[in-house]
Structure 1
Amino acid sequence: MQTLLHVLVTALTLAMLQTLAASAQSVEDFYKGRQIDLIIGGGAGGGYDVYYRTLARHMGKHIPGNPTFVAKNQPAAGGLAAASAIYTTAERDGGTIGAFANNVTMDPLFGAIGARYEPLKLNWIGSIGKLQNVCTTWHESPIKTIGQAQQREVVVGAAGATSNTALMPKVLNALLDTKFRVIAGYHPGAGLTLSIERGEVEGICGLSWSTMKASRPHWIKDKLLNVIVQLGMEKLPDLPDVPAALDLVKDPHKKRVLMLILMRQETGRPIAAPPGVPEDRLAALRRAFEETMKDPAFIAEAGKLQLEIEPMTGTQIQAMLTEAFATPKEIVAEAAALLTPPAQKK
């Protein structure tokens, strides 16, 4: 008994000493000469990867001590693995942060398997921009409108089973009576690109417009796509003549379900630190993110890469998630049924 008590006292003492040491070390001292691991919950070469690696090249100079960023891709489970790692195993000292797909912010609300984290307990740093998905077919496809997709089967390519490209076609099938058939399992970067260019699938539904502009600009420049519907809370300025799914859903209850589903896109490209990061370091990370969003060099590079910058602060993300997690249970249950296949629910 005394041995066990001794072990507990020793552990508590060490924890207290570590806490005191962390609090005594300035933010600049901590980050000087350090590398920050940026865990990207998306595939190499994809739209998320392009955005986050661009951020990584500029954010360090806005953090006291000027640390460098090391980007590491962890795309498994639609980014849920990366978020779970940030929440459960990452060091909570501010030396590791996560950069996720938009679904990460709300998937635990919908009961997604693999979501071993609590979004409201993560320390949100900010989001580079909103995410507004579209459904497209290849220019050789006879399907040119959403109405035609309601008349016959349209085969679309998708990444993992929990990715937007797999889930959004199913959402539209349920709420708009479309006839999308999903072929999942493609690499979220090159795999999806080749799937449609080789004619293995007829289209892609649920990939963001900004992702296409960033990672596949020739598709747009050379008019290789038919954009048949857009999935966002607001219509994109680039696509004034493409109908919005929210406008097409007439039933008020179904519209509310769709609005909750689309709300998770508003956080777009979110970045978070683990729970328990010292407050001064978290504040420095948030401040550095906001300064980077205004940095002329970052803005210039983003422009060259055709990245759309429409940032949200960490505080704004937290407020939006608080609202989403307060949604009536019946609406959440219906949205979850569309977003999480029964075999994958907790």
Structure 2
Amino acid sequence: MKKLKHIAMGVVAALSITTAVAADNAVPDTIDFTIPFGVGGGTDVWARFIAPNLSNFIEGNPTVVIKNQPGGGSITGTNLFFSRAESDGSDIIGTSASTLFPYMLGDKRVRFNLDNWAPILASPTGGVVYVQPDLGISDSGDIAKLMNQELKFASQGPTQLELPILIALDLIGADVKPVFGMKSRGAGRLAFERGEATIDFQTSSAYMNSVQGLVDNGKAIPMFSVGVMNKEGNIVRDPAFPDIPTFEEAYESVHGKQPSGMQYDVYRKFLAAGFAFQKVIFVPADVPSEVLAEYNQAVRKMVADPKFKQEAAEQVGPYENAVGVDIAMYLGEAVKISPEMYSWIKDWLKSEFNYSL
């Protein structure tokens, strides 16, 4: 599995460059920000919040242009970025768990290599699973009533963002019938709103911006959140959704005990990899050192800014962003899976969805 070691070295080198060395306007006047998803999903919402803030903290305030390139659950746009991105700092990309998971699993469609990119910002997130109100439930305490019902889920694909959610729903005993092929989680949400899906999942930003209104109007019922992992490695309630139980709580309400075993271990692995590093901004690793230094300096200033912190909590959730070398040091480990886990997930994908890695 790829180590990302030279990325960490490159970022460290860039961070060692002083402000005096970096030339004015090292970053080009226009930055194309590739988002390999459609408009309206969690990554798109996050990117449109980040873009103007990033511009404000880069010397010269360059124009940041969002370029949506959906397809293949983010693989299409990410492959294109890998092959076409300029190395002068004018191209950056925002990835999601849907990008990391296929990479982790050795998906044959993946043509990109994370070793060739330097991460400059990682935004963790949470997420919520919710259902249609006509399933006979009124709140998350009724989740056991879902176990005997067929649940239709509009999904991007079995190895995309929804992977840990599909694992969790299977673990809890839900009868989920996914329909694959959605171009984004935003498309999945629209299918839910049209009544074509009876269960859906959105990351925090999309849930806060596009689903909370449905909940408030009685058109969606939250079931559980994925929670957040604390410093002790335990999953606790998401501070963005303190009134929504975690998956672990939901599982215990159905089965009377905490989840355990290989399937739960795999769920936690993909949850940690995909949600601690849920949204990552990369630049090509071979950008000039002064450009990488300026990006890192700008991002550090941005995430420390009180106004940004307040707006981020409101727009994408109260999560702590990671910057530069802090990401590179841990991302390589996060995307590694053990042979035992790989064997389990390979067999599970084949048996559940007839999907071959």
TM-score normalised by length of structure 2: 0.77
- The answer on whether the counterparts of 1:41 and 1:75 sit within 8 Å (CA) in structure 2 is yes
The worse-fitting range, judged by mean Cα deviation, of 43-52 and 220-229 is 220-229
Give the whole-Å Cα distance in 2 for the aligned partners of 1:273 and 1:294. 21
Contact 1:123 1:273 in 2 (8 A): yes
Question: Residues 188 and 123 of structure 1: is their aligned pair in 2 closer, same or farther, counting only changes over 3 Å?
Answer: same
1:125 alignment partner in structure 2: 120
Could you tell me how far apart the structure 1 residues matched to 2:250 and 2:266 are? 13
Aligned equivalent of 1:142, options 136, 139, 161: 136
- TM-aligned CA distance change 1:61 to 1:251, over 3 Å: closer
SS of the residue 1:318 aligns to = helix
Change (3 A) 1:301 1:230: closer
Q: 1:297 to 1:185 in 2, by over 3 A?
A: same
Structure 1 residues 246 and 98: CA distance shift in structure 2, 3 A: farther
Distance in structure 1 (CA, Å) of the matches to 2:170 and 2:328:
30
**TM-fit CA distance, 1:106:** 4.0
Residue 61 of structure 1 pairs with residue 66 of structure 2: no
Partner Cα separation in structure 2 for residue 26 and residue 251 of structure 1: 51
294, 297, 306: which one aligns with 2:304 = 294
Q: Counterparts of 2:112 and 2:23 in 1: how far apart (Å)?
A: 27
Q: Secondary structure at the match of 1:48?
A: helix
Distance 1:47 1:142 in 2: 28
Alignment match, 2:260: 251
Aligned to 1:9: none
The 1:278/1:49 distance shift into structure 2, 3 A limit, reads same
Q: What aligned pairs does 1:155-194 form with structure 2 within 5 A after superposition?
A: 155-160=152-157, 162-165=159-162, 167-188=163-184, 191-194=187-190
Q: Confirm or deny: 8 A CA contact 2:73 2:183 kept in the other structure.
A: no
Q: In terms of mean alpha carbon deviation, does 312-321 or 333-342 score higher?
A: 333-342
How many percent identity over aligned positions? 22
Check whether the contact 1:158–1:182 (CA below 8 A) recurs between aligned residues: yes
Using the TM superposition, give the Cα deviation of residue 303 of structure 1 relative to its aligned residue in structure 2, in angstroms. 5.6
**CA separation in 2, counterparts of 1:329 and 1:161?**
19
Structure exhibiting the larger radius of gyration computed from Cα positions = 1
CA positional deviation for 1:189: 6.1
Task: Return the offset for 1:311.
Answer: 0.9
Amino acid of the residue matched to residue 134 of structure 2? E
> What is the root-mean-square deviation in Å for CA atoms of aligned residues?
2.9
1:104 aligns with: 99
Q: Is the 1:77–1:162 Cα contact (8 Å) retained in structure 2?
A: no
Structure 1's 185 and 328: CA in aligned 2 closer, same or farther, altered over 3 A? closer
User: d(CA) in 1 for partners of 2:171 and 2:23?
Assistant: 50
Where does residue 196 of structure 2 map in the other structure? 200
After superposition, the Cα gap between the structure-2 partners of 1:304 and 1:331, relative to the gap in structure 1 and judged at 3 Å, is closer
Q: Is the 8 A contact 2:130 2:221 kept in 1?
A: yes
Change (3 A) 1:189 1:134: closer
Closer/same/farther in 2, CA of residues 230 and 113 from structure 1, 3 Å limit? farther
Equivalent residue in structure 2 for 1:236, among 205, 215, 238: 238
Contact 1:36 1:70 in 2 (8 A): yes
Contact 1:103 1:265 (8 Å CA) reproduced: no
Query: Does 1:260 find its partner at 2:281?
Result: no
Normalising by structure 1, we get a TM-score of: 0.80
**How far off its partner does 1:226 sit?**
1.8
**Residues 1:280 and 2:290 are matched in the alignment:** yes
Report the CA distance between 1:278 and its aligned residue. Answer: 2.1
Q: For structure 2, list consecutive stretches of 5 or more residues without a partner in the other structure.
A: 1-20, 230-234, 252-257
Look up the equivalent residue of 2:247 and give its one-letter code.
A
Paired position in structure 2 for 1:48: 43
Q: Tell me if the contact between 2:185 and 2:202 (Cα under 8 Å) persists in the aligned partners.
A: no
- Structure 1 counterpart of 2:16: none
Whole-angstrom distance in 2 between the partners of 1:306 and 1:220: 18
Question: Using the alignment, how far apart are the partners of 2:336 and 2:165 within structure 1?
Answer: 26
Query: 2:92 corresponds to which letter in structure 1?
Result: I
1:169, distance to aligned residue in structure 2 (A): 4.7
The 8 Å contact of residues 100 and 270 in structure 1, kept in 2 or not, is answered as yes
AA matched with 1:254:
Q
CA contact (8 A) 1:77 1:161 kept: no
Does structure 1 residue 271 correspond to structure 2 residue 276?
no
User: What is the rounded CA distance, in whole Å, between the counterparts of 1:158 and 1:218 in structure 2?
Assistant: 21
Could you tell me which residue of structure 1 aligns to residue 12 of structure 2? Answer: none
Listed one character per residue, the Cα deviations across residues 91-142 of structure 1 (whole Å, up to 9, x for unaligned) are: 1221100012223234312122422122244211112x32223221022322
- Cα deviation, residue 262, structure 1: 0.7
Please say if residues 225 and 247 of structure 2, whose CA atoms lie closer than 8 Å, have aligned partners that are also in contact. yes
Give the whole-Å Cα distance in 1 for the aligned partners of 2:250 and 2:339: 24
Amino acid at match of 1:252: G
Displacement of 1:188: 3.0
Is the 8 Å Cα contact of residues 105 and 342 (structure 2) preserved in structure 1?
Answer: yes
Measure how far apart 1:291 and its partner are. Answer: 1.6
Q: Secondary structure at the match of 1:94?
A: coil
| Mapped contact 1:133–1:208 kept (Cα < 8 A) | yes
Match of 2:149?
152
Secondary structure at 2:65's aligned position in 1?
strand
What SS is found at the alignment partner of 1:216? helix
Relative contact order higher in (CA < 8 Å, ≥ 6 apart): 2
